[in-house]
Amino acid sequence: MGFAMQVMNAAAVTFAFLAGLLVLVLAVVFVIDKTQRRDAIRRNYPVIGRFRALFSELGEFFRQYFFAMDREELPFNRAQRDWVSHAAEGKGNTIAFGSTRNTNVPGTPIFVNAAFPPLDSQFAKTQPLQIGPTARMPYSAPSLFNISGMSYGAISKPAVQALSRGAAQAGIWLNTGEGGVSPFHLEGGCDVVFQIGTAKFGVRDAEGRLSDDKLREVAAHASVRMFEVKLSQGAKPGKGGILPGEKVTPEIAAIRGLNVGQDGISPNRHAEIDDWNDLLTFLDHIRHVTGKPVGIKLVVGGPEGIAGLFETIQRRGADLAPDFITIDGGEGGTGAAPMPLMDLVGMSIRESLPMVADMRNAAGLKDRVRLIASGKLAHPGDLAWALAAGADFITSARGFMFSLGCIQALKCNKNTCPTGITTHDPRFQKGLVVEDKELRVARYAKQIIKEVEVIAHSVGVAEPRQLRRQHVRIMQDNGQSLPMNDVVKRYNAATGS
């Protein structure tokens, strides 16, 4: 009995101590909140006002897992993320009991199934497509679906390694992004597209100007098949960027052509290019130095601007034309950017791709200039729509991030990515096992192409590049769909493009 009393007394003392400690902590917090001047809620409601920030921070995660319906979230909803995950894992993507997608939403593409689609024996294998016929070393690109630009630095070493190895297994290309080519891009042995950003990372001299010697060094890698001059990107059209000096490690410095600790500043445009005429001269110089196809990446702001490109090509000759044009959508992308640019600047790929395709074709450049569609195209229906709209190839960044295991935590710009994809913190990078993720990358690429083929066959053509606008209907705001041909013609008539 005496022992029991001792235990109870000890427990009571411990409880009293903890209660007193809690009261003391709350009192300190109360004083801090009451006297601080930055947050009015905490000043007016000490202690309990702190819960507002906590609940706001946790809200996005509770919505994602408990409250949001499968088709509600942005930028990608749960149904879209799950499709990529299942494809990357090699699981079946069949569903039961009907679609959960609301097909009455204006802009939704509806594919026109054929009454008598081709038999299995009538299917055709998608053939490689040549890019850069005037270059000394044209590129015969084997796949219609490829990996868009994600720089080493923006994404982690194991992420780049997994993408490189997975791309090689799937037979697709990998775009380096504007951070230069790293050993990790090359180690998998896949085809590589080297992106030249406004800071010329990886191909710059000590003053930051384009270096012909560095261009030749990069072009000497047999796996580097093309060069892409980035004018703008969907996440931040019209704005450059900065890689803080504290992130410029000896490794990053060597790859990008910077000094250790030097801020990596990307201007908002190439200083050498003031107009379309300068652009064609710039591209032709790179093509001459490297011997490889050279194209551009840009977000279209309107028909007036991009029309000038084709007018300049017609004036100077098709030999000086870009070998490809990558059209990025203004829907935003993997890069961190101010919200107004992410939300409000640049045309959507759904509007700009058909417009540019028509301009290219009208200029007689269909076989000379390839169109690459980018911008939130990560699922079979997206790819099939883009091919029908006029694209020759499609690239995706976020789709492949999902294949790596991205959970859309929206922490890409904070170095705290929980999946290790966009962080350089070794603690988080340990979660990304390259040997597993490379298989997911390859399976995702193969599965999405397979399902695009399924759509192509259902509309009555033998392979995806035979998809045309008459195979697609676009839902209108009155609940009826119209052929894509008619929708584009009405748009062209309204805009005069």
DSSP notation for 116-137: SPPPGGG--PPPPEEE-TTSSS
**C-beta atoms surrounding 231 within 10 Å:** 19
| Structural domain count, the chain | 2
Residue 115 lies in a domain: no
Indicate whether 58 and 130 sit together in one domain. no
Domain that holds residue 221: 120-495
- Is residue 395 located within the same domain as residue 489? yes
172 with 253, same domain?
yes
In-domain check, residue 38: yes
pLDDT, position 63: 58
39, 129: one domain? no
Whether 98 maps to a domain, the answer reads no
Residues 42 and 132 reside in one and the same domain? no
Query: End of a domain among 47, 67, 87?
Result: 67
Domain boundary among 48, 67, 86: 67
Residues 109 and 385: beta-carbon distance below 8 Å: yes
Q: Please tell me the pTM assigned to this model.
A: 0.84
Both structure tokens of 165: 């190895």
Statement to judge: residues 40 and 174 lie in one domain: no
For residue 246, give the CATH number of its domain.
3.20.20.70
Q: Domain for residue 84, yes or no?
A: no
Give yes or no: residues 159 and 52 share one domain: no
Consecutive 10-residue runs of the chain (497 residues): their mean pLDDT? Answer: 66 79 88 80 79 65 56 62 77 66 83 89 89 97 95 86 96 93 94 94 89 96 97 66 72 84 81 94 97 95 90 96 91 60 74 94 96 90 95 93 79 72 79 88 94 94 94 91 87 72
Residue 58 is assigned to a structural domain of this protein: yes
Residue 87 placed within a domain: no
pLDDT at 77: 64
List, in order, residues 6 or more apart from 466 with CB less than 8 Å away. 456
Q: Per the domain annotation, does 74 fall within a domain?
A: no
In a domain, 81, yes or no: no
- The answer to whether residues 259 and 142 belong to one domain is yes
Question: Which residue among 67, 82, 107 closes a domain?
Answer: 67
Residues 238 and 308 in one domain: yes
- Do 220 and 325 lie in one domain? The reply is yes
C-alpha 256/C-alpha 153 separation (Å) is 10
